Amino acid sequence: MIVITGATGHTGKAATETLLAGGVNVRVISRDAKKLDQFVDRGAEAFVGNAEDRHAMAKAFEGADAVYLVVPEDPTQPDLRAHQERISESYAAAVAFARVPYVVALSSIGAQHAEGTGPIVGLHNMEQKLNQVPDLNVLYLRAGYFMENLLMSIAPMRSMGILPGGMTGDLATPWIATQDIGKYAATRLVSRDFSGKSTQELHGQRDISMKEASSVIGKAIGKPNLSYMQVPFTMLEPALVEMGLPKNTAALLIEMWKGANAGLIAPQEQRTRKNSTPTTLESFATEVFAPAFLSKTAGA
Any domain includes 210:
no
Side-chain half-sphere CA neighbours of 180 within 13 A: 25
CATH number, domain containing residue 77: 3.40.50.720
Any domain includes 31:
yes
Any domain includes 184:
yes
Any domain includes 126:
yes
Domain count for the chain:
1
Any domain includes 154:
no
What residue numbers bound the domain in which 22 lies? 2-147+175-202
Any domain includes 127:
yes
Give the C-alpha separation, 87 to 54, whole Å.
Answer: 8
pLDDT at 228: 96
Any domain includes 157:
no
Any domain includes 109:
yes
pLDDT at 75: 78
pTM score: 0.94
Query: CB of 163 within 8 A of CB of 153?
Result: yes
Q: Give a three-class secondary structure readout of the chain.
A: CEEECCCCCHHHHHHHHHHHHCCCCEEEEECCHHHHHHHHCCCCEEEECCCCCHHHHHHHCCCCCEEEECCCCCCCCCCHHHHHHHHHHHHHHHHHHHCCCEEEEEEECCCCCCCCCCCHHHHHHHHHHHHCCCCCEEEEEEECEEHHHHHHHHHHHHHHCCEEECCCCCCCEEEECHHHHHHHHHHHHHHCCCCCEEEEEECECEEECHHHHHHHHHHHCCCCCCCEEECCHHHHHHHHHHCCCCHHHHHHHHHHHHHHHCCCCCCCCCCCCCCECCCCHHHHHHHHHHHHHHHHHHCC
Per-residue pLDDT of the chain (300 residues; tens, 9 = 90+): 999 999 999 999 999 999 999 999 999 999 999 999 999 999 999 999 999 999 999 999 999 999 999 998 887 888 999 999 999 999 999 999 999 999 999 999 999 999 999 999 999 999 999 999 999 999 999 999 999 999 999 988 998 899 999 999 999 999 999 999 999 999 999 999 999 999 999 999 999 999 999 999 999 999 999 999 999 999 999 989 988 889 999 999 999 999 999 999 999 999 999 999 999 999 999 999 999 999 854 444
pLDDT at 176: 98
